[in-house]
Structure 1
């Protein structure tokens, strides 16, 4: 009995890139292939590998995401997802739960190729994450702020912070989401309005339609604008959007509805979510935005970390020195304070001395004579 060759799949790190390039979430991929979201997460991390019909469906889906011309609008993708999920449900009914889990989770056997993820250094892993996320993240941040320089600065600051905390970011289930949340927080900080370089608006987009859409986005409150960009721009589902904006699912849904209503009130042609998604992508892609090179971002992050570390050490040393000086010069016993002066009544006024009388003059001369040169000494006698 001969075994048919397995359908080739890209490396695990490439699978996630293709999924996000096709604007699909893990839940959407799981629905189309007919598995759980955790299984898709395992496929993308390289812990497990699909087998059988699910491997073929997964490979076909990644091939569709790899071709830009074959990308569908969100509305068409939703219809296809429902159809594929319906077919997958019928196939799953013919298998037992034990067989399905065994087929999905066990490692491939026989001649099936096993692609193990390459061991990367921290710098290489950071550079890969930066090359994958930075270009799209700069365009997304531009939709939040309407400022090109601020968008680039926000993304670079987010990646510098990620490099400083790389042990934490490297083990995060969603490093791209961690960096995106940091970039959004920095971009929407209200302190930028006090910076001199951001007091004047930047030139608006050249196209009239893009200019109108950007004006509408900037009139939205920052939480509404962020929710709209995450859901209709990035393509996150509602629970993920709520988690990233630190809100409940109901609050995120209300923000999204109000933001869509505000956009549709000013631009009625964008009342359709699919059309709004397309126009947001066009608005972000029309701007010439780019971030610095990855080694430069890492270098700036390291220099900033060294600066703040040295500043913290210097402050600590100064604090210790001040404390030691205070302890050294502080008194060791209680010294009562000097009471303030007070006026004393009843004392006669002090007068200048007057001339001596005849008797006082004779007595002074006698004392001087006998005390200095005379043999007789004045000795007090008992009375």
Structure 2
């Protein structure tokens, strides 16, 4: 495979409504898309970095810069082109290993090249990653609201649409009572979990233990991402299973968390861990140790959403993920929209990602575009 160049395209898409978490409120999504152009096909990747360093230290400006200044020149060199020709997208991780961090940029680049490779060979993303399901169960992430009645109305609407699991964002001052209200309104059979996005400290352990009364699937990332030992201590105090998100940035960090018994569930976000191939390694590691995994979301467009569907079809993804329909976040997606069917979403089966941007919609949302020839 000969990589001819990479297109870097910024797009801006308004959300259907404000999405509030413990680290801020989003009203639109600023996205960096990559298009890999090879001799045989074109492939798409999506960088999930945000505009500001709230969820992650990686931001769109930094990822764009490192792609242009370091990653793409590395792939363009003689060694890079030879490795890509021999091993395709599987060479990306090794080629970029000398560069620390910037996993979201690495993931987007790997994704675009893998998509191009698989399109040329007529193979699907799901097949390449090891998927075994035609559809995946769909959960929905519900943000923080000003009042509990607002929250209940929104949750009721999502359940009416058919979502099979509800995840509530929580923070200090918005935790026990919202969870209690949702559980009382919608019953004990509702699959319910919470996500703190690092909003608490170990000093809050006794308070977090009050969530044990509500039979939750899990509490996601209650403490700071670096505090893996704190999560291990918290797991001895609360009965609700601990799930790690921000703390897991590689298979290596997942192995450490598992050894410390800091979690019993892992949320795998491909952008956060450096790509879909690294995500499969974490999936396999978790399976070997008897841990459940599920696929998280980063407000992806249809490009990233398609790849997440493929990943979530692997056998170890035993909990519903944040693989919601396109309409959860966007009035208009840049691909054909993903839709909810009896609580599930169908995994694309076409070559590569199985979806491509709709040209006129892509142009409507584009704010800048640059092609870098290699």
Q: TM-score, normalised by structure 2?
A: 0.25
More strand by share: 2
* Bigger radius of gyration among the two: 1
> Which structure: greater helix fraction?
1
